[in-house]
A and B are shown apart, each in its own frame.
Chain A
């Protein structure tokens, strides 16, 4: 019956359709945000209130004590610093190394080009977790467990294949003619890179850097296996150890959670448009 009137009256049908769309979106919005709002609210509660029953949606006596605790606890503070060092280091390394490789694929013709490219794409499919046991034995044998540098290097396997693909596609959008013109004007090869290609590729570098940072900052399995000593822990691992060290203190934990979300969230929201564009490029070209 409703169906019939609806087809007869396009206005009613349109209104019903719009309502349904917005209702579904609202439900999903609620599901997406409520866990985070709940954590944020808990992080502002004093510890007694955090596990009080019945739970209260809003903190009665809001406090920033939980944040102060996280930022002043020696292990947690140290791990935050470690996380920044490793994430920034591995981002820089990955962007540099992947750009070089991406540039080779975009600009040169050479023997084995297609084979190497498909191997790199294939590597993207390999589940990294399978490597944790061999990596552990390798690093243990070279006495490199708990080394921040070793961690930065192992993080590369999460990022490099994707970044090479991104950078290759990006370089291909830059007209070759621009570089050739600069060469004719007497610029050296390196000069062309420095004065023409690199400035034009900045948006590409930005996408690759944001993705690298997200992967490095959030990675948990590799560091929990390869670096779990208190002075070399990253923040994600420190939060995990936190459960066993203290009886779970949800107030402190939610403050830690909130702190760890901020850096990546800011980056991702800033570069959201470029990310979608980068993904589109990556998928279409393949």
Chain B
């Protein structure tokens, strides 16, 4: 085989994957910036785009709905991450305590993660429906008033958090279970001989050894909660008004509901900055 071919061989193997990533992932990322500096709407998309500098960003930051969406994002992400991580950690640890049929239980617990967000959203929309949802029916049964789970602006975001937690927690269970399976069980046996209680060995053995898994898990579920808007779009469409429009859904609504592609693109850039900050904060927090 000629030497040049030998040298080129690994790159040939890489080319198809890299080409797809370059065209559909990396280029659009930069293209997004270009769009955000021009005036592009759904109706003018095929005409010449006019350069308007930072106007989109000024409009964005002057839009009270955008401010609301940042606040909503914080509530949605904070609630989702805290609950997904808390419940996911608890369940993965419990399943690790020589529980009977833990394999079957694990298989059942990951079911919500195997289905699509669309399905999760519809199921909860159905259950939380004001008029004939089963939750309000149960509340009425114990003498309480019906709650406007999806229509009350103060409550709606927490209803979406519930759906997102139901949908997302299995990933944390799966991921942290994988982490605990990678810990050598003889370490625990040694700790038991030394007289350590379960809770102490959790704090002093499991947590430190699980740290790499915990960090990756937290980064992933935080970013997913920031960026995903399938559940919001389907359950409420962001409403009532903007009460459940997170920043990512704001981007989508600006672009595809109001047709303002370039304003949406500038919101996308703010999202990128948020994502980078999250990665940076976690990196700083968990170093050492």
What is the interface of chain A, defined by CB distance below 8 A to chain B? 17, 21-22, 24-25, 28-29, 31-33, 35-36, 38-39, 42, 51-55, 96-98, 100-101, 103-104, 108, 110, 113, 116, 120, 123, 125-138, 140-141, 153-154, 156-157, 160-161, 164, 189, 214, 217-221, 225, 236, 239-240, 250, 253-254, 257, 260-261, 264-265, 268-269, 272, 275-277, 279-280, 283-284, 286
20 CB-based A-B contacts, threshold 8 Å: A35-B127, A42-B126, A52-B132, A53-B137, A97-B17, A103-B13, A131-B29, A132-B252, A133-B264, A134-B35, A140-B46, A157-B21, A218-B115, A220-B117, A220-B230, A225-B256, A236-B116, A260-B116, A279-B175, A279-B178
How long is the Cα–Cα vector from A219 to B23 in the complex, in angstroms?
Answer: 20
Known contacts being A32-B112, A110-B10, is A129 close to B46, with CB within 8 Å?
no
Evaluate contact between A279 and B174: CB separation under 8 angstroms. Answer: yes
Count A/B pairs, Cβ under 8 Å: 242
Cβ contact of A127, chosen from B24, B174, B275, cutoff 8 A: B275
Evaluate contact between B118 and A264: CB separation under 8 angstroms. Answer: no
How long is the Cα–Cα vector from A103 to B120 in the complex, in angstroms?
Answer: 37
Which chain B residue lies CB-closest to A122? B279
Cβ contact of B14, chosen from A22, A53, A100, A260, cutoff 8 A: A100
Q: Chain B interface secondary structure, helix, strand, loop or mixed? A: helix
Cβ contact of B132, chosen from A55, A130, A157, A276, cutoff 8 A: A55
Chain B residues whose C-beta falls within 8 Å of the C-beta of A129 in the assembled complex: 227-229, 248, 251-252, 271
How long is the Cα–Cα vector from A132 to B252 in the complex, in angstroms?
Answer: 8
Evaluate contact between A133 and B255: CB separation under 8 angstroms. Answer: yes
Within residues 249 to 274 of chain B, which ones have a CB less than 8 A from any CB in chain A? 251-252, 255-256, 261, 264-265, 268, 271-272
Which chain A residue lies CB-closest to B117? A220
Chain B residues whose C-beta falls within 8 Å of the C-beta of A156 in the assembled complex: 20-21, 24
Known contacts being A125-B223, A133-B35, is A53 close to B132, with CB within 8 Å?
yes
B177 close to A (CB within 8 Å): yes
Q: Digit string of B10-46 for contact with A (CB within 8 Å is 1, else 0)?
A: 1101101110110111111101100100001000011
B192 close to A (CB within 8 Å): no
Evaluate contact between A283 and B107: CB separation under 8 angstroms. Answer: no
Evaluate contact between B216 and A126: CB separation under 8 angstroms. Answer: no
Cβ contact of B122, chosen from A22, A217, A257, A275, cutoff 8 A: A257
Evaluate contact between A154 and B24: CB separation under 8 angstroms. Answer: yes
Evaluate contact between A160 and B17: CB separation under 8 angstroms. Answer: yes
Evaluate contact between A157 and B20: CB separation under 8 angstroms. Answer: yes
Cβ contact of A240, chosen from B24, B112, B234, cutoff 8 A: B234
Chain B residues whose C-beta falls within 8 Å of the C-beta of A38 in the assembled complex: 123, 126-127, 134
Given contact pairs A33-B111, A136-B256, a sample of 13 additional A-B residue pairs in the complex whose CB atoms are under 8 Å apart: A25-B94, A29-B105, A31-B166, A35-B124, A55-B132, A123-B25, A123-B26, A134-B32, A214-B114, A220-B230, A265-B114, A272-B106, A275-B174
Evaluate contact between A261 and B132: CB separation under 8 angstroms. Answer: no
Q: How far is the CB of B96 from chain A (nearest CB, A)?
A: 10
Evaluate contact between A220 and B111: CB separation under 8 angstroms. Answer: no
B240 close to A (CB within 8 Å): no
How long is the Cα–Cα vector from A233 to B111 in the complex, in angstroms?
Answer: 25
